[in-house]
Chains A and B, each alone.
Chain A
Amino acid sequence: MGPLPSCSRLPIATGIGLRAAHHERVRGERPDIAWLEVHTENFLGGGATPGMLEALRERYAISLHGVGLSLGSAEGLDEEHLARIAALVQRLEPAAVSDHVSWSVTGGVYFNDLLPIPYDEEALAVIVRNVMRFQEGIGRPVMVENPSTYLRHAQSDRAEPQFLAELCQRSGCGLLLDVNNVFVSTENHGDDARAYLAAIAHLPIGEIHLSGHHLRQIGNRSIRIDDHGSPVSDPVWALYEHALTLIGPRPTLVEWDSALPPLETLLAEAGKAQTRLDASKRSAA
């Protein structure tokens, strides 16, 4: 357990993912929550939305969470996209900047999905290079989020926690630990979620994500799908509590993207996380 790494200037409290349907109410009512996270790509236009974030920044810490830079792309980063992110980072001076350990762009097509990369030496070298370019482009360290995965590549030669550790060590980035993703991936691959957490607990973790998922039946088998469309499940709450005991209190976000509930529901879910975070702070004191 230790202090927040330099990649995160977020308050050690809970935040919510801010989505378009809640913009007006959050702007008008300023609910009692410590910080807000937005998807970076939704704010790269020049309209009113970046201005709205500027106004909210006076009340809330802001985290820019990218979903489209495609850090795992063999062809490297889209420099125009990176320049737009850099301009937004410069304008907002957010408390955190992050993206994913995944890829979504190849040959000029932007798939808008968090596609998996193999965990081998070549992919590691690619993503290290891209993360370093990302950090150089915006002039500050970033965090990368562990993905939900539904398959494994035959060519992978190391486990995901080891891959993440090498990525953080070689690039200097931090880890955004998505506890729901840990649960989804380990369940889908028959792994031990607590062993996963133990293997990454020493990494520079600057933020935690919590969200919902669902169980999809395929014949007589089932697979967990990360959909950010339901409350955090009981096993994920338990895993979150365990993560806090291993790594100490961390800024924690409740994400909800599909079937978006009323703002009150989202804030109540964040309240549940805050209760656990407060307990973790008391233990750490």
Chain B
Amino acid sequence: MRLADLQAAYRGYLLSGDGAALAPAIVVDSFDGPERLAIYRNNFLISLGEALKANFPVTLQLLGTEFFEQAARRFVLAQPPQRPCLFEYGAGFAGYLRDLPQLATRPYIVDMARFEFARIAAYNAPVEPAITSETLIDLSPKQLEELPIRRARHAMVVTTRAPVLALWQAHQTAEPDFAAIDMTPKSQALLVCRPDQALTYQELDLSASAFLLAAEHETNLGIAAARCGATDDATLGRIIALALQLRLLASDHASAAR
């Protein structure tokens, strides 16, 4: 069998469990082909299940090990990794959990998975030049309005109706006091970012979250400001100050705007 065909047969087997096409390529001795192949499929499923446990530790605690492992196994088969690094794996896990009927009454677990993947993404985001106060200081009002901006890749915004941050923080303690957490649904936007070496979290007000969501893809400062509904200079000034403090904005063309 040509190597490409053999590897395609492995792919089919690993994802489906049907080894009919692959078994003839395997030497039979004290074990038959399916028995030997099953070792590799088992390794594949376990290793990626462990990777998901590492990326979603609080989601694991909320779901319980047995439920998590079953969900992870099905997710791995439905959405196997399409990138080489395990810290990049699991972008679709929250969406997968959202569609499970067992979680319909516990949407906060889905939001926890979104929050935890935002943490991983923020932590591993590439370092990129940020817009600083020096970038802005000499700009005219027109240049300021036209300044190209993009939300830095380490700056993640998680919108939720659950007290995700409080829950996550409680799970970081040895004796969490879950009774103290108000589980009443309330819309909020959480900023997860890595301005330097460590992750930081904070709740955003509506204007700030709208501004950062508007800057997800490259835009300019004037457009993002208009979309966030900041009707006064003080609100916009506060958002810009936060962005400068936490290095939330990158600009691929900052010098061109000057």
Contact = CB atoms under 8 A, between A and B. Distances in A.
Interface of A: 20, 41-42, 44-49, 51, 68-69, 72-75, 78, 81, 103, 105-113, 115-118, 122-123, 126, 150-155, 190, 216, 218, 221, 223, 225, 258
Contacts of B84: 41, 44, 68-69, 78, 81, 105, 110
Contacts of A68: 84-85
B86 A152 contact: no
Contacts of A150: 36, 39-40
Interface of B: 1-4, 6-8, 10-11, 14-15, 24-27, 29-31, 33, 35-37, 39-40, 43-44, 47-48, 50-51, 54, 80-87, 123-128, 153-154, 194, 197-198
The residue among B2, B30, B80 with the most chain A CB atoms within 10 A of its own CB is B30
Nearest to B51: A112
A122 B125 contact: no
B3 A117 contact: yes
B76 to A, nearest CB: 9
A153 to B, nearest CB: 6
7 pairs of A and B residues whose beta carbons are closest in the complex: A45-B124, A46-B126, A151-B36, A74-B4, A74-B3, A68-B84, A110-B81
Given A74-B2, A109-B82, A154-B27, 19 more contacts: A41-B85, A42-B85, A42-B86, A45-B85, A46-B126, A48-B194, A72-B3, A106-B8, A106-B10, A108-B82, A112-B86, A113-B47, A117-B3, A150-B36, A151-B36, A152-B27, A153-B25, A223-B31, A225-B39
A206 B80 CA distance: 34
A120 B40 CA distance: 21
Contacts of B127: 46
A180 to B, nearest CB: 16
Contacts, number: 127
Contacts of A107: 8, 11
A106 B11 contact: yes
B3 A44 contact: no
25 contacts: A42-B86, A44-B85, A45-B126, A46-B124, A46-B125, A46-B127, A47-B154, A48-B123, A74-B7, A106-B4, A106-B7, A106-B10, A107-B11, A109-B15, A109-B82, A111-B81, A112-B44, A113-B47, A126-B3, A150-B40, A151-B39, A154-B24, A154-B27, A216-B39, A218-B31
A107 B4 CA distance: 10
Given A107-B8, A109-B80, A111-B80, A151 B85 contact: no
